[in-house]
Amino acid sequence: MKHKTNNANTPIVYYTKDVSPQGLIKVYKALNQKLVGKTGIKVSFCSDSEQYLDPKLMTELVKETDGTFIETCGFTPPRDRPKGNYQMAEKHGFTSVAPVDIIDSEKDIDMPVTNGLRLKFTRTGSHFDNYDTLIAVHRFKAHYIPIYGGNIKNISLCLGSLSGKAIIHSGGTNLISYSSRNQDTTAQCFADAAKAAMEYKKDRWAFINVMDSFEPTDNCKGTKNLGNIGIVASLDPVAVDQAAVDFEYGDAVDENLRKEWEDFHSVNLILNYCEKDGVGSRNYRLVSLD
């Protein structure tokens, strides 16, 4: 666990080996998040070609928080329209667990980025304003597409409306459609967008990464399905992602291979920029609840 420390000034990451609804609610309750107003649970419904989180894992969380699953539209059909996005939520079982809100189904709102690295603002759906308590839950994807999948992505790119996603992908130069930039620019935009979400709903967030059985699809050498590793939770999105990285990328046979994996998936770029942007801390204290 490369970034694990005993420093009392670092954020706590709670951990359980129990990948189940009971395990998830256990790590969530350890956070002692104060429930205020309406609760939005930020998830990704995913398209048919993607590996999505089993919504049944969140049944106890939904009961505890009376939460609503919130999500935005994506570039890939049918999720590029609210109706199609809702259909994916229904098909993948989310609507049978909790109410679903496509938060950009009506209009967009801008979230300012204060002293950002690249962006002046990012953009999400107007329904985001309806939620006072936010819980970001993500199926951690260490070896999937080039940018690793954790909660920094969940509250930055995945929280963006279609215009918000265009802003992040383009480095702020395109507000309408997809256009890509280099790894460094993209990492800065992820950090800025995460910062905007954190500041827009200041002290309202909790973060959970589920590390369940997952088949690597990225062609990185030396990878394998690690089975159910566990669930981590924190009030710090950088710490919770770093802990998941340490669990999963720590399986590399040596530091050179780990660095190769982290470089390919922009791990250090994104998490270092998040630290620089004040989003959170890469160092953390790990507390096992087992």
Please answer whether residues 45 and 71 qualify as being in contact, where contact means their C-beta atoms are separated by less than 8 angstroms: yes
When pLDDT is cut at 50, 70 and 90, the band that residue 266 belongs to is confident
The answer to whether the beta carbons of residues 207 and 233 sit under 8 Å apart is: yes
When the pLDDT of each residue in the chain is averaged and rounded to a whole number, the result is: 93
Confidence (pLDDT) at 143: 62
Per-residue pLDDT for 117 more than 70?
yes
What confidence tens digit (pLDDT) does each residue in 215-260 have?
888 778 877 888 899 999 999 999 999 999 999 887 767 888 888 8
Question: Cα(87)–Cα(47) distance, rounded to whole angstroms?
Answer: 10
Q: What percentage of the chain has pLDDT greater than the value 90? A: 74
Q: How far apart are CA 18 and CA 11, in angstroms?
A: 22
> How confident is residue 189, by pLDDT bands cut at 50, 70 and 90?
very high
Specify the pLDDT at position 3.
Answer: 85
Q: Which residue has the tokens 């590399």?
A: 252
Q: Flag whether pLDDT at 63 surpasses 70.
A: yes
pLDDT for residue 2: 78
- Which pLDDT band holds residue 142 (cuts at 50, 70, 90)? low
pLDDT-derived band of residue 145, with 50, 70 and 90 as boundaries? low
Alpha carbon distance 197, 205 (integer Å): 9
Q: What percent of the chain has pLDDT over 70?
A: 98
Measured in whole angstroms, the distance separating CA 33 from the mean position of its chain's CA atoms is 18
Q: Which residue is associated with the tokens 């609210």?
A: 82
Contact status, residue 186 vs residue 180, Cβ threshold 8 Å: yes
Domain segments of the chain as ranges: 12-107+125-148+195-288
SS3 readout for the chain: CCCECCCCCCCEEEEECCCCHHHHHHHHHHCCCCCCCCEEEECCCCCCCCCCCCHHHHHHHHHHHCCEEEECCCCCCCCCCHHHHHHHHHHCCCCCCCCEEECCCCCEEEEECCCCCCCCEEEEEHHHHHCCEEEEEEECECCCCCCCECHHHHHCCCCCCHHHHHHHHHCCCCCCCCCCCCHHHHHHHHHHHHHHHHHHCCCCEEEEEEECCCCCCCCCCCCCCCCCCEEEEECCHHHHHHHHHHHHHCCCCCHHHHHHHHHHCCHHHHHHHHHHCCCCCCCEEEEECC
- Looking at residue 164, its pLDDT comes to 95
